Structure 1
């Protein structure tokens, strides 16, 4: 699990511009090179991933919340 956290932290060090729209689970899969969208849903069930919200039956993520989550992982990795 620690290697996954470090990999996410490494992704965050590269300068990137987050989209101005809300992100889908598929967007997170692409951003973090996850094995499947099921990983994103597991994060949500376990409350370990970025904060998400529902729009009807669709799950969405605010890019600011995703960035804050990545920053928290980076802080954990540095501690």
Structure 2
């Protein structure tokens, strides 16, 4: 039988996880900007499905109050930006 060893580099894992969070935040910010550019001035009811799709694509969800609030911001032409926080280990 052979000996198998496994070394786990916790610091490397943390860097990878933080990079992934940062990348996702940047991706969703870009996508929200595209939605804003397309839907500024449009009715909230038209914007909500686009926001729901955005969150569903990455396995997330958005609550109804947030959905309405964000749709209103987009309709008004306001920019929404995700800012990742440092992961609390």
TM interval, short-chain normalised: 0.3 to 0.5
TM-score scaled to structure 2, two decimals? 0.38
Structure (1/2) with the larger helix percentage: 2
Compare CA radii of gyration and give the structure with the larger one.
2
